[in-house]
A and B are shown apart, each in its own frame.
Chain A
Amino acid sequence: MASIAGLTGYRLPQLAAGRFIARHTLKIGAIWGAVFGLYVYSTAIGFDSLAKTAAKRDQVLNSLASNTGLKALLGGTHRITTLAGFVDWRVIGVASMVGAIWGMLLATKILRGEEAAGRWELFLAGQTTARRAAGNALAGLGAGVLAMYVLAALFTAVVGARHNIGISRGQSLPARWAGCARRRPRGTWITWWCAASAASGGCPGVSASRRLSW
């Protein structure tokens, strides 16, 4: 391509949309990661105050574990009478729901919302195609989710390192949470997230790439 004097070129313009969306979602993902991390912390330190005695606490926790409604909502339990098991059950159950809703809203805003506002056309008028732009948007969304995941895992590792809590570093990692998902009857973090991203991110993403190719 010929060039004119004074022209400043930018590298990889085809990734500009993804970078822009990632920058936006990273901030929000980090905030939610911190919120979930603090939730891990508050749940852990609140464990002892659930009841006056350990026996009473076990009774309360076992009744929670056998509650069908809570099971349906938050998933099954695993060693719920231990601090790690309680934190695992409560945090992953609540966080996966909140995370899924957040993911759905964010994905809808980024993919469908941008298109409805007419801004998607500006992306598509750049050096990209509809399919590549949708891929960029999904990658940017993934970056935000990753930020949330990493920060939440970091908080969990830091909180878990306290000797009285006893969540190991390995248990704090997303891989461990994936293990939790396999163990639980309805699945948790990963399965919730997969379902949410498929419903909220994937569908509008594919729709965006298809719609604009009428």
Chain B
Amino acid sequence: MGMSTTLRGLDPSVKTAQVVLQAEGLTKHYGPVIALEGLDLELTAGEVLGYLGPNGAGKTTTIRLLLGLIRPTAGRARIFGLNAQEDKVAVHARTAYVPGEATLWPALTGAETLHLLARMHGATDVAYRDKLVARFDFDPSRKVRAYSKGNRQKINLIAALASRAGLLILDEPTAGLDPLLEQAFRESVLEAKDNGQTVFLSSHVLSEVEALCDRIAILRAGRLVEIGTLAQMRHLSAVTVEATFPGSPPVVDRVAGVSAVRVVGHNLTCEVRGPIDELLTMLAAAHPGTLLSREPSLEELFLSIYGEQEHVNHGAHDG
């Protein structure tokens, strides 16, 4: 639907990857509290960025700065080449936002709320909205006060997706959605991506980010600690190796790049960064019954960045 058409906010004459969102040294302090520090970020048209971080890492602050809802302490954000602070009306006309909290007007029906949100945004694709209503299995005839949290979130999602805005800013959009509807959400985001829309997806659901995003940015205490594709992140991170031996496993602690060694009976688990040859040679010499190596999942990467791995290492050595 609408694949050959031009998206709102994008210049059809420019064939190269257009920069849709650009943050330069974006900083926000609340007194002594650092909510966001020196964020540099660039998103091109048709890209889906997963924005990860635990509560209080600065995800929502970033979104509020991008939307011009709060003023930065330093730095600036440009969306479609426009200053997010000074040209916010023009920016909002090309941006759709789904807030993390699905608070809506309780006395309105779902249909009335969709209409109001479309009016506030300025445009909507009615046919696509109807398609989304069916896809999300949403009944728009009931009052908002009668909806569950998931249903209220569907209203925000449908309104944002139906706006066909060039940039979708989604702040934990699937909170409250059941797994079936999460599938509908993924389908819709991929559809938007195919359509050339850019998606800024702040999420806690790592599997969702892993499935949808071209690049992933990880935020810790207001600072961007990692950004790249999942493959790039995996390359930088450790590979997990698991092996079972007929006798005692070999001692691999001193092999270069090996860490998080854990031995339970005849089973050995460890992580290795960089070349794996030396470790494999040592393991092969001990004639393993099974040998398995796998790349880390996004969850493992995320936990590793947040120092959980260190905790596990200590636990293993202690044990």
Taking a contact as CB atoms under 8 Å apart, the answer to whether B99 and A13 are in contact is no
Q: Does A3 contact B (CB under 8 A)?
A: yes
Taking a contact as CB atoms under 8 Å apart, the answer to whether B67 and A125 are in contact is yes
* A16/B6 contact (C-beta < 8 A), A6-B125, A125-B97 known: no
Q: Which residue of A lies closest to B101 (CB)?
A: A118
Report the minimal beta-carbon distance from A210 to chain B, rounded to whole angstroms. 11
Q: Does A117 contact B (CB under 8 A)?
A: yes
Q: Which residue of B lies closest to A124 (CB)?
A: B69
11 A-B residue pairings within 8 Å (CB atoms): A6-B128, A8-B124, A8-B126, A9-B123, A13-B93, A17-B120, A121-B69, A123-B120, A125-B97, A126-B122, A213-B71
Chain A contact residues, CB within 8 Å of chain B: 1-10, 13-14, 16-17, 19-20, 117-119, 121-130, 212-214
Residues of chain B within 8 A of A121, CB atoms compared:
69, 99
Taking a contact as CB atoms under 8 Å apart, the answer to whether B99 and A122 are in contact is yes
Taking a contact as CB atoms under 8 Å apart, the answer to whether A1 and B8 are in contact is yes
In B67-114, which residues have CB < 8 Å from any A CB? 67, 69-71, 88-89, 92-95, 97, 99, 101, 103-105
Residues of chain A within 8 A of B128, CB atoms compared:
6
Q: Does B119 contact A (CB under 8 A)?
A: yes
Report the minimal beta-carbon distance from B36 to chain A, rounded to whole angstroms. 13
* A13/B122 contact (C-beta < 8 A), A125-B67, A125-B97, A127-B89 known: yes
Taking a contact as CB atoms under 8 Å apart, the answer to whether A13 and B125 are in contact is no
Q: Does B58 contact A (CB under 8 A)?
A: no
Taking a contact as CB atoms under 8 Å apart, the answer to whether A4 and B69 are in contact is no
Report the minimal beta-carbon distance from A119 to chain B, rounded to whole angstroms. 6
Report the minimal beta-carbon distance from B196 to chain A, rounded to whole angstroms. 10
In the bound complex, what is the Cα–Cα distance between A33 and B4 (angstroms)? 55
In the bound complex, what is the Cα–Cα distance between A126 and B120 (angstroms)? 5
Q: Within the complex, which residue of A6, A118, A119, A127 is in contact with B126, where a contact is CB–CB below 8 Å?
A: A6
Taking a contact as CB atoms under 8 Å apart, the answer to whether B103 and A6 are in contact is no
In the bound complex, what is the Cα–Cα distance between A119 and B121 (angstroms)? 14
Q: Does B116 contact A (CB under 8 A)?
A: yes
Q: Does B12 contact A (CB under 8 A)?
A: yes
| 7 closest residue pairs by CB, A with B | A126-B120, A13-B122, A4-B5, A118-B103, A16-B119, A2-B6, A125-B97
Q: Which of B10, B71, B101, B103 has the most CB of A within 10 A?
A: B103
Residues of chain A within 8 A of B30, CB atoms compared:
214
Q: Within the complex, which residue of B71, B94, B103, B127 is in contact with A117, where a contact is CB–CB below 8 Å?
A: B103
**Scoring B residues 55 to 72 as 1 if CB is less than 8 Å from chain A, else 0, what string do you get?**
000000000000101110
Q: Does B305 contact A (CB under 8 A)?
A: no
Taking a contact as CB atoms under 8 Å apart, the answer to whether B89 and A128 are in contact is yes
Q: Does B9 contact A (CB under 8 A)?
A: yes
In the bound complex, what is the Cα–Cα distance between A10 and B122 (angstroms)? 5
In the bound complex, what is the Cα–Cα distance between A1 and B123 (angstroms)? 12
Taking a contact as CB atoms under 8 Å apart, the answer to whether A125 and B6 are in contact is no
Residues of chain A within 8 A of B101, CB atoms compared:
118
Q: Which of B10, B89, B128 has the most CB of A within 10 A?
A: B89
Taking a contact as CB atoms under 8 Å apart, the answer to whether A129 and B88 are in contact is yes
Taking a contact as CB atoms under 8 Å apart, the answer to whether A214 and B93 are in contact is no
Residues of chain B within 8 A of A16, CB atoms compared:
116, 119-120
